[in-house]
Amino acid sequence: MTRVVVVGAGITGAAAAYELTRHHGVDVEIREASSRVGGVIATSPFAGLDAVDEGADAFLLRSPAAAELATAVGLGTAGDGLVSPTGASAAIWVDGLHPLPTGLMLGVPTAPVALARTGLFGPLGIVRAAGDLVRRHEPRDHDSIGRWARHRFGNQVHDRLVDALVGSIYAADCDRFSLAAVPQLADLAAAGRSATLTARRRRRGAAPIDGPIFATPSTGMQSLVDATIAAAVADGARLTTSAPVRYLERSARGGYLIDGEPVDAVVLATPARIAAGIVAGVAAEPAELLSSVATADVIMVTLALPAGSLPTACHGRSGYLVPKSVQRRVTAVSFASHKWAHWQPRDGSEILRVSIGRDGAPVDDLDDAAATDVVLAEVGAHIGFNPAPTEVRVTRWMGAFPQYRPHHHQLVDAVQRGCPTGIAVAGSSYNGIGIPACVADGRRAAREVLSACGVVPVP
C-alpha cells in the first residue's frame, strides 16, 4: 500500500483525498487542524433558514471542475440539486447605485458607448476609455492588473469597473495584483492592441451560454466539502480533525516522516504560509517562497432585515460593489435573498451579506460589534435607509484571501520545482482562488504524488 496524507480539509484537500481514493493500492489519511472540515467554506442556519453560506456562495460553471465534483459526490446537477442565482443584476455604488455596463468581461468594456448609459463616467472618462481602441500595445514586464488597465482605459474605468470587479473576487488591490494570474485579463492583454475589441471578439467567438453562469448546492457550499470527504471516507480514507500537522522530515528508510510517522507522499492543501512551516525541514527554498505569499482579511457581516426594508432602488438587484475611490470600509454588499431564491425567509425578511476588508485595508481593529456598526452606518448611508436588523452574524475570514503579487506564477513554478518527489502543494494560494480552480488543483496534486510513488493513476 502507498500511504498518502492530505494535510488540510478545505475544498482542495477534500478534492485531493477524493481523487486519491479512486486509485487502487492507496492508503489515504486526511489531517485537519480545525475541529470542522471546510476551511474557508462554511454554511450555517440563519434567519430561520437551514443553510446560509458564511463565505463562498457560488462556483463558476464555465470551469467545470466544481460542478463535476458536486455531481460525482451526489449533490445533483445544475437545475436539479444545484441552484443558480435569480438573474438579478449587480450595481456599482458611486453616490448612488449605477447599473454595470452591458457586455463587460471582468470589468473590461466591450463597447465604450455602453459606459455612457450607466451614469458612472464623465465624458472625459468615456473618451479616455475609448482611447483603448487606438492606443499602442505597451510592452509588459510589470505584470500588474492596475498598471495595464489604467494604461488601456484610464483611471476611472480601472477604479469603477476592473478594480471593483476583480478586487471583489480576490479582496485585492489590482495595482499590486498579478495580471498573469487572472487568465481572462492576461489573455486580453496578450492578444493585441485594443482590449475592448479583443474582449468583444472573445465574447462573439465564445460558445453561446445557454443556462446559468454560477451554481451552488441548495444545501449550502459546506455540503460540497462534506459530501466530497464522505465519498473519500466511504472509499477507505480516514479523516482526523483537530490534528494540526507540524513538520515533515526525510525518513532514513526512504519516504518521509509526518510528525514522526512514516508516509510515502503528502499533499499539502493548507494556505501557503502554513505549508511553508511544514515543508521547511525537507525543502528550505520552497519554504521561504511559500512564507512570502501575502494574504488579505475580510469580515462578512450577514444581516436579516424586516420584510420590505430595502428601498425600491435596490429591487431587481443582486447587490453592489463600492470602488476604492469612494470606499470607506464596506467593499461589497450582496442582497442575498434577492440573489438566491432559496435564501428567501418565509416571513419575507431580507438577507444582506456585507463584506469589509481587503488588501491594503485591514480589519483587525474592528471587533464584531464595531464591524456591525460600520456596516449598518455605511450601507444605510449608501442606499438611504435605516437598517434595523433582527439577526446579525459576523464571520471573520482572517488571512483567507491569498494575494497574487506580480510574477506570482514564477513563485509557484519555483515552489513546485523545488518540492521533493512525493510532496505537492495545492490550493487557493497557487493557481486560482475560485472553488473550481481549487478542486482542479487538489486533484492534480493527488495525481502528481501518485505518479511519483509509481502508482499508475486511473484515467
Ligand X SMILES: Cc1cc2nc3c(=O)[nH]c(=O)nc-3n(C[C@H](O)[C@H](O)[C@H](O)COP(=O)(O)OP(=O)(O)OC[C@H]3O[C@@H](n4cnc5c(N)ncnc54)[C@H](O)[C@@H]3O)c2cc1C
Contact by Cβ (8 Å): 438, 267: no
Report, in Å, the least distance between residue 429 CB and ligand X. Answer: 7
Most distant CA pair in the chain, distance:
71
Residue among 198 and 429 whose Cβ is closer to ligand X = 429
Report, in Å, the least distance between residue 286 CB and ligand X. Answer: 16
Residue among 41 and 179 whose Cβ is closer to ligand X = 41
Report, in Å, the least distance between residue 185 CB and ligand X. Answer: 17
Report, in Å, the least distance between residue 89 CB and ligand X. Answer: 17
Report, in Å, the least distance between residue 450 CB and ligand X. Answer: 19
Task: Count other C-beta atoms under 10 Å from residue 231's C-beta.
Answer: 19
Residue among 40 and 47 whose Cβ is closer to ligand X = 40
Region for 316 from its dihedrals, namely left if φ exceeds 0, alpha if ψ lies in -120 to 50, beta otherwise: left
Taking CB positions, which residue lies at the least distance from ligand X? Answer: 39
Residue among 310 and 445 whose Cβ is closer to ligand X = 445
Report, in Å, the least distance between residue 52 CB and ligand X. Answer: 13
Report, in Å, the least distance between residue 142 CB and ligand X. Answer: 25
Residue among 53 and 132 whose Cβ is closer to ligand X = 53
State how beta strands 26-31 and 238-240 pair. Answer: parallel
Residue among 309 and 334 whose Cβ is closer to ligand X = 334
Residue among 104 and 400 whose Cβ is closer to ligand X = 400
Residue among 10 and 389 whose Cβ is closer to ligand X = 10
Residue among 129 and 293 whose Cβ is closer to ligand X = 293
Secondary structure of the chain as H, E, C letters: CEEEEEECCEHHHHHHHHHHHCCCCEEEEEECCCCCCECCCCEEEECCEEEEECCCCCEECCCCHHHHHHHHCCCCEECEEEECCCCCEEEEECCCEEECCCCCECCECCCHHHHHCCCCCCHHHHHHHHHHHCCCCCCCCCCCHHHHHHHHHCHHHHHHHHHHHHHHHHCCCHHHCCCCCCHHHHHHHHHCCCHHHHHHHHHHHCCCCCCCCEEEECCCCHHHHHHHHHHHHHCCCEEECCCCCCCEEECCCCCEEECCEEECEEEECCCHHHHHHHHCCCCHHHHHHHCCCCEEEEEEEEEEECCCCCCHHHCCEEEEECCHHHCCCEEEEECHHHHCHHHCCCCCCEEEEEEECECCECCCCCCHHHHHHHHHHHHHHHHCCCCCCCEEEEEEEEEEEECCCCCHHHHHHHHHHHCCCCEEECCCCCCCCCHHHHHHHHHHHHHHHHHHCCCCCCC
Residue among 132 and 163 whose Cβ is closer to ligand X = 163
Residue among 195 and 400 whose Cβ is closer to ligand X = 400
Report, in Å, the least distance between residue 300 CB and ligand X. Answer: 5
Best CA proximity match to 325, nearest among 157, 457, 115: 157
The footprint of ligand X (CB under 6 A) covers 7-13, 31-34, 39-41, 55-59, 244-245, 269-271, 274, 298, 300, 397, 400, 427-428, 433-435, 438
Residue among 44 and 155 whose Cβ is closer to ligand X = 44
Report, in Å, the least distance between residue 277 CB and ligand X. Answer: 8
Q: Which residues pair with 338 in a beta bridge?
A: none
Report, in Å, the least distance between residue 127 CB and ligand X. Answer: 35
Long-range CB contacts (within 8 A, 24+) of 189-194: 189/140, 189/148, 192/137, 193/134, 193/135, 193/136, 193/137, 194/132, 194/133, 194/134, 194/135
